[in-house]
Amino acid sequence: MTTYPLGTYNLHSIERWNKAPAWNQKRAYARKLVLESIQIFIEEKGFNQTDGEEVASRFYQERQLPGIEGWIYDAEPGFSVAKIRRLRRLYREEGLPGLLVRYGKNKGKQRSIPPDIKIYLVACLKNTPGIRNSNIYNAVKKRFKPAPSRKSIDRFIDTWKAENPQLAMMIEDPRRWKNTMMAAFGDKSAGITHFCHTWEIDSTPADVITKDGKRCAIIGIIDVYSRRSIILIAPTSKSMAIAACLREAFISWGIPENIRMDNGKDYSSRHVQAITSALRINTPALPPYTPEAKPFIERLFRTYSIQLEELLPGYCGHSVADRQKIREQATWASKIMTPGTTFAIPLTMKEFQETTDKWIKIYETTPHRGLSGRTPSETAEQSPSHPPKIRDNRVLDILLAPLSEHRKVGKKGIAIDNEFFIAPELVEYIGKRIEARRDLRDAGTIYVFDALNGTYLCEAKADELEGQSLEDYHRAKRSQKIEMKEKTKALETLGISCPTPLQTILIDDHAHLPKKILPFQQEADNEAIREARKAVSDNKKESQIPPSEPAQVISFKSYLGDPTDNSWMTDEDLDKEFERAMEKSVK
């Protein structure tokens, strides 16, 4: 049995040492050696006590503390600063017995946080990301009796987050976890052996507000092999703008073998799909919400935003927090009103595109670390093979033209947008399905292809639209549609204040006229009516409450002499009254 020097201590400490098992005594002796080594380390390195304990704790955690053997690390797995100070105090007060592991101290008592409360705490973190520990503690106090202390809950949450850093970040901020902790092993450029083997294309909102107060869309294409890039500034990311960006890349570089694009409605439109299928370009399906599937275009947008957009006038920030900071700065009006203050006017869309083109030229002539120090232009020139190109731009325009739905040739021609396109060659195709492509330069021209095998049939014309560009035609149609909506809305507003036809019919045209005086009609009277009147009068006597005051008595004579009310007189009495009034007037 191994013996350890105890020194002179009280009998209670010696008795506790003698009762301790061998493994506990061995661990206490290991702790003593660690404390001695830490003190020697601090003195040799010249640290103060606080800094030395922190450095020694990290060295011990990495198993690099001088003078410590391997069995000591196995016996005592960790030494925090708090533990160093606690064990040093116990060793100073009780000696070697004070370094014994005091197991069994809480035997029979409830642990600080039972398993069911631990599960509840993790559930709170999951269901309410970012919840404060104080709110968790208040919920635990109401739900569990007895509840652990606030300090125990804080300690458990801190320990759980330290032991599960990925899970904790995934709960609190999934985007940050994806950007910082999600595995990104491998290389998306592996297997790409030559220029225009694979392109990546995507769209993103610009972080710059143009002069007209709009936030444009940025459409970008990058060649993965060489990192050559094209960026197009467009009002919105639609199939027409994507086709324009592809057209520039086709003319400058050639036809690629593969294009990686997302599943947005603008990229999955029939127009874009018709372009890729006509040019036999492979478009592998990418899972939704996975920007890491096309990392090169995402990195290009990030570089473009940092190196150019942040420097442009009208910059509005990359995030909501950035925009809030910009809003809190001085407004344009305050800058203009302050004498001597200079400010930059935002760019127009054309100026924005020109500035972007200049930046692209610098980008393509700058050495890239991912290209072993070569520039994108040099890498493209040194490619072992180059793609085919379409020399005639008009051929490319037809292939990139917007694809109308499959139409049937009618007896009046091909109906598109309420216009009929005709050609002599269409006579033999009446009743058959065709595929029409609109000419971008002439809205009155379409190119007709067979819907079954894609063969070219003819060119059809609509004289009413001839000479007008397709973009201008669509813009005019949109303006007309907006104008008609505004007029319809105005009519609806007008209709609210106007009566409906039914209300108009039921209006009484004579309601405004003075009411006519109806002739006196004597009450009907016969024996049956009199008997019925008796029954009614008897019921009224039973139901009516006697008046609290007697009714006012009107003198019959005074009422008789009132000429304005003669409804009680008969015709004979009226005649007599009239004659009497005439005699008085003569006298």
Least confident of 105-109, 271-275, 536-540: 105-109
Higher pLDDT among residues 70 and 516, named by residue? 70
Percentage of the chain exceeding pLDDT 90: 11
Cα dist from 184 to 187, 191, 246, whole Å: 8, 17, 29
Binning pLDDT at 50, 70 and 90, where does residue 568 land?
Answer: low
What is the longest distance spanned by two Cα atoms in the chain?
160
Is the pLDDT score of 574 beyond 80? no
Q: Does domain 401-471 have CATH number 2.40.128?
A: no
Q: Mean of the pLDDT values across residues 315-319? A: 72
Which of 100-103's residues contact partners 24+ apart within 8 Å by CB, and which partners?
Answer: 100/16, 100/17, 100/20, 100/24, 100/25, 100/27, 100/28, 101/24, 101/27, 101/28, 103/24
**Which residues are paired to 450 by β-bridges?**
434
Q: Mean of the pLDDT values across residues 297-316? A: 88
Q: Which residues contact 525 (CB under 8 A, 6 or more apart)?
A: none
Tokens 């702790």, residue? 31
Cα dist from 328 to 204, 325, 331, whole Å: 25, 5, 8
Q: Are 396 and 250 in contact (CB under 8 A)?
A: yes
**Which residues are paired to 460 by β-bridges?**
446
| CA-wise closest residue to 470 among 492, 437, 495 | 437
Q: What is the pLDDT of residue 224?
A: 92
Q: Which residues contact 373 (CB under 8 A, 6 or more apart)?
A: 367
Q: Which residues contact 288 (CB under 8 A, 6 or more apart)?
A: 262, 263
Is the pLDDT score of 10 beyond 80? no
Higher pLDDT among residues 576 and 58, named by residue? 58
Is the pLDDT score of 541 beyond 90? no
The domain locations on the chain are: 11-99, 115-180, 198-381, 401-471
Q: What is the distance between the alpha carbons of residues 412 and 414, in angstroms, rounded to a whole number?
A: 7
Is the pLDDT score of 375 beyond 90? yes
Higher pLDDT among residues 145 and 231, named by residue? 231
pTM over 0.85: no
Q: Which strand (E) or helix (H) includes residue 84? A: helix 81-94
Q: Which residues contact 36 (CB under 8 A, 6 or more apart)?
A: none
Architecture of domain 198-381: 2-Layer Sandwich (3.30)
Tokens 């708090």, residue? 82
Q: Which residues contact 117 (CB under 8 A, 6 or more apart)?
A: 140, 144, 147, 148
